[in-house]
C-alpha cells in the first residue's frame, strides 16, 4: 500500500491589501482579480475577515471557484467564540460559524484557526470545555482545528496535553513575542511566521528563508502530515515575496 504523502501549503493572510498593488499585484490588475492572481502564486491563504464577522455563503462559493483545484483556505474562527471570559459558553457562536456559509468552501476548507487575545490566560477546565465544543465533522466533512494562544500561561505541559487529547494543532507563532510552543499535537502543522522586515526584498534574509524551507521539509519528513505556513504581520508589504520565496525553495514534490 502506498502511503499518502504530506501536502505543504504556503501563503499569506488575506489578499486585499493596498500596498500589495504594484508590489505583489501587477499594476492595473483589477481588484476583483486579486484572489485569482494570488492563488496562482501561492498555495494557500488564511481568511482573516471571518474573525471579525460573518461572510455570505455566496462569497465563500465565489472564492472556491476562483482558485485552483489544489488551493486551500485556512479560516479564522470568529472572535465572538474566543474573546469571552467563559469559553464553555461559546457553543452558539461556534455553531453559527459553521452554519454561516463557510462550508461552501467544500474541499478547499483547510484548518480553522481559533485565535485568543494576549490577555486570555490558560484555565485548564474551561479551556477543555471549549475544545469539546469544536466539531470534528460538519455535513460529512472532517474539520481540522488549530489554537493560537498569546499568553505565557499557556506555555505549560497541561495545555499541550489538552491539545493532544483533542487532536488540535497549536499554532506556532514564530518570529514574534508570543509564546513559542512547537509541540506536535495534531496530524498537521500550522505555523504563522511574523518576522518580515522592510530592508529585505524577500522579507527575510536568504538564510532565514532557507531555514523555514528546511523546517517545512523536516516537518513533512517526521510523519505523514500536512503543513500550513502563513507569512503574517511583520512588514506586511513583503509577506507575499517571503511566502513565494519559501515555496520556491521546497522540493517540487513537496508542494501541494
Question: Would you state the pLDDT for residue 152?
Answer: 96
CA 25, CA 45: separation in Å to the nearest integer? 15
Give the pLDDT mean for 1-10: 72
pLDDT tens track for 29-86: 999 999 999 999 999 999 999 999 999 999 999 999 999 999 999 999 999 999 999 9
Give the pLDDT mean for 132-156: 97
Question: Would you state the pLDDT for residue 255?
Answer: 61
Question: Would you state the pLDDT for residue 1?
Answer: 36
Question: Would you state the pLDDT for residue 256?
Answer: 58
Cα–Cα separations (whole angstroms), residue 117 to 18, 45, 57, 121, 150: 26, 22, 27, 9, 6
**Entry pTM:** 0.95
Does position 229 have pLDDT exceeding 60, yes or no? yes
The C-alpha cell 481568511 sits at: 47
Question: Would you state the pLDDT for residue 4?
Answer: 59
Give the pLDDT mean for 190-211: 97
Mean pLDDT of the chain: 95
- Tell me how crowded residue 148 is: count the other CB atoms within 10 A of its CB: 20
| 3-state SS track over the chain | CCCCCCCEEEEEECCCCHHHECCCECCCCCHHHHHHHHCCCCCEEEECHHHHCCCCHHHHHHHHHHCCCCCEEEEECCHHHHCCCCHHHCHHHHHHHHCCCHHHHHHHEEEEEEECCCCCCCCHHHHHHHHHHCCCEECCEECCEEEECCCHHHCCHHHHHHHHHHCCEECEEECCCCCCCCCCCCCEEEEEECCCCCCCCCCCCHHHHHHHHHHHHHHHHHCCCEEEEEECCCCHHHHHHHHHHHHHCCCHHHEC
Question: Would you state the pLDDT for residue 254?
Answer: 64
Pairing between strand 172-174 and 188-193? parallel
Q: What are the cell numbers at 256?
A: 501541494
Strand partners for 158: none
Q: For each of the domains in the chain, give its residue range(s) and CATH number, in order of start.
A: 8-254 (3.20.20.410)
Amino acid at each position: 500500500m502506498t502511503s499518502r504523502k504530506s501536502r505543504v501549503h504556503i501563503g499569506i493572510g488575506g489578499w486585499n491589501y493596498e500596498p500589495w498593488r504594484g508590489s505583489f499585484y501587477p499594476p492595473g490588475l483589477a481588484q476583483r482579480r486579486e484572489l485569482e492572481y494570488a492563488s496562482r502564486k501561492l498555495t494557500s491563504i488564511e481568511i482573516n475577515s471571518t474573525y471579525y464577522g460573518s461572510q455570505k455563503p455566496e462569497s465563500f462559493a465565489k472564492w472556491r471557484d476562483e482558485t485552483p483545484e489544489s488551493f486551500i483556505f485556512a479560516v479564522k474562527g470568529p472572535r465572538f467564540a474566543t474573546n469571552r471570559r467563559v469559553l464553555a459558553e461559546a457553543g452558539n457562536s461556534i455553531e453559527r460559524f459553521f452554519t454561516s456559509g463557510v462550508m461552501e468552501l467544500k474541499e478547499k476548507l483547510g484548518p480553522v484557526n481559533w485565535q485568543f487575545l494576549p490577555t486570555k490566560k490558560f484555565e485548564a477546565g474551561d479551556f477543555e470545555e471549549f475544545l469539546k465544543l469544536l466539531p470534528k465533522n460538519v455535513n460529512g466533512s472532517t474539520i481540522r482545528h488549530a489554537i493560537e494562544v498569546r499568553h505565557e500561561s499557556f506555555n505549560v505541559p497541561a495545555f499541550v496535553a489538552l491539545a493532544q487529547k483533542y487532536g488540535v494543532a497549536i499554532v506556532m507563532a514564530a518570529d514574534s513575542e508570543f509564546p513559542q510552543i512547537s509541540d506536535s499535537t495534531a496530524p498537521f502543522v500550522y505555523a504563522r511566521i511574523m518576522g518580515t522586515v522592510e530592508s529585505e526584498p524577500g522579507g527575510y534574509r536568504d538564510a532565514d528563508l532557507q531555514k523555514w524551507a528546511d523546517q517545512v521539509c523536516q516537518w513533512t519528513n517526521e510523519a505523514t502530515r500536512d503543513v500550513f505556513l502563513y507569512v503574517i504581520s511583520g512588514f506586511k508589504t513583503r509577506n507575499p515575496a517571503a511566502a513565494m520565496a519559501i515555496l520556491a525553495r521546497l522540493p517540487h514534490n513537496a508542494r501541494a
